[in-house]
Amino acid sequence: MDTIKAVLKNKSLMMKILFTLLVFLIYRFATFIHVPLINPEVITGVFEERFGEAGFFGIMDAFTGSALSNYSIIALGIGPYITASIVINLLQMDIVPILKEWSQEGQTGKQKINQTTRYLALGLAFIQALGMTYGFALTGDAIFDVGVEPTFLTYTYLALIITAGTAFLLWLADQITLKGIGNGTSMIIVAGIIAGLPGMFTSLTQEYVTAADADLASYAIFGTVVIMYIAILVGVVFMQSANRKIPVQYSNRPSSSKFKGQSGSNIPLKINSAGVIPVIFAVTILSLPQTMLSFIPGIQESTIGVWLTEMFNYQRPLGYLVYATLIVVFTFFYSFVQINPEKISNNLQKQNAFIPGVRPGVETENYISKLLFKITVVGALYLLVVASIPIFVGAIFGLPPYIQIGGTSLLIVVGVAIETTKQIKTDVQGKTYSGFIR
């Protein structure tokens, strides 16, 4: 409550929050602006019939606040930018030398990498929009308005409009970062996810509480689902904040008690250092074959279609094993990409710092690597549990696909909420210290 009161008294911080809410309003309004030349009702019908709420398109639709199912000008959201960022980060690992050089050039190199990421994001957005529009047309439904000729120029024109929508969202994200609160890219994603939550709980209430055939069993399912959602939310908040602190001592500082409590006397390693990226990777890889099958009429009933569905559908036993394996593998891979034990060891040596009981250099690097491996085991199991909860809960209670208990969206919302809360507290404390000094 003290923090809330301090925020309300801080005019500059309140202006940032109001500006962020204004950008959210603009973003939400853009989700209802349909792409020209397209019959949005047909697109929505094709989306619900073939893709539903699960799979690659279901995740994209959740991240964009239903902009994809509405086929609005921001149908792709900032998904291409996220993909481009991941690709650029991976290419910096001695794969593309120029990118690694830029990553070591400080602020100038960072600006070059950001610019390259944006160019790549716009290129990916154009390719995705072109392929997606053509894929919807292949379904056999009349997605174009009457009198529109589906030529190559038509597809190119629509792809350019959707690409421009992605560029507009990137600009909005930059405005949030500069003038608002939190990281703009993350806040845009969270805005899309939160926009779908009221509809989910409304549908849940209509399905199990206010329905004509509602009975005691349906009321029990409704209560159980709500309680589980709250419990999972609390658990995710705890795990997203959990970290393992490695104590650090400095050879040029006395080891008296007044130095032991300083914030720089440890290295915090997050239990879930990989974030939500492994789950997104796993779902994307599994969903792409199913998405391509959905665009080709008649192939799903063939032998190849049935085999691919069994292999890449994480709601089937074989598909779930592949899904779980991908999550674990990507968690270990991305954790060691995010945290480089060799770099940490070198930085400690440069600062005349060391881990008590561990020799500097190679031994420190090995110690951090072993500790990171143990932490990542816990983090991988945590991600697997959270990602598996919607699958098992849906199967046990027979929930519709639009009701997601846990999963990728909850991980993203909680992670961004924690980081934004930390930023708000930092701004409030900075204002308090400034007033104290004056």
**Domains by residue range for the chain, with CATH:** 1-198 (1.10.3370.10)
The better pLDDT of the pair 412, 31 is held by 31
**92-122 as b/e, with b when 16 or more CB fall inside 10 Å?**
beeeeeebeebbeeeeebeebbeebbbebbb
Judge contact between 389 and 232, C-beta under 8 A.
yes
The answer on pLDDT for 156 being more than 80 is: yes
41-45 — which CB contacts under 8 Å span 24+ positions?
42/141, 42/142, 42/143, 43/69, 43/70, 43/71, 43/136, 43/143, 44/69, 44/70, 44/71, 45/141
The model's confidence at residue 168, banded by pLDDT at 50, 70 and 90, is very high
Percentage of the chain modeled with pLDDT above 90: 16
The answer on pLDDT for 261 being more than 50 is: no
The better pLDDT of the pair 263, 55 is held by 55
| Most trustworthy range by pLDDT among 14-28, 123-137, 187-201, 385-399 | 14-28
311 by Cβ neighbours in 10 Å (0-12 / 13-18 / 19+) ranks as: middle
Q: Which stretch of DSSP H or E encloses residue 53? A: none
> Which of 244, 259, 201 shows the shortest CA–CA distance to 225?
201
The answer on pLDDT for 206 being more than 60 is: yes
**206-224 as b/e, with b when 16 or more CB fall inside 10 Å?**
ebbeeeeebeeeeeebbee
Place of tokens 């500059």: 12
For residue 166, what pLDDT is reported? 94
Which of 48-62, 238-252, 313-327 bottoms out in mean pLDDT, i.e. has the lowest? 48-62
Q: What is the pLDDT of residues 106-133, one digit of tens each?
A: 788 888 889 999 999 999 999 988 888 8
Which of 94-103, 173-182, 258-267 bottoms out in mean pLDDT, i.e. has the lowest? 258-267
Average pLDDT (185-192) is 87
Question: CA–CA separation, 213 vs 218, rounded Å?
Answer: 9
Angle at 224 between CA 220 and CA 227, to 5 degrees: 140
| Most trustworthy range by pLDDT among 141-155, 156-170, 327-341, 397-411 | 156-170
63 by Cβ neighbours in 10 Å (0-12 / 13-18 / 19+) ranks as: buried
The chain-wide mean pLDDT, for the chain, equals 81
Average pLDDT (20-33) is 92
For residue 53, what pLDDT is reported? 52
The answer on pLDDT for 161 being more than 90 is: yes
260 by Cβ neighbours in 10 Å (0-12 / 13-18 / 19+) ranks as: exposed
16 by Cβ neighbours in 10 Å (0-12 / 13-18 / 19+) ranks as: buried
Which of 163-177, 228-242, 291-305, 414-428 bottoms out in mean pLDDT, i.e. has the lowest? 291-305
For residue 169, what pLDDT is reported? 93
For residue 257, what pLDDT is reported? 45
Judge contact between 375 and 336, C-beta under 8 A.
no
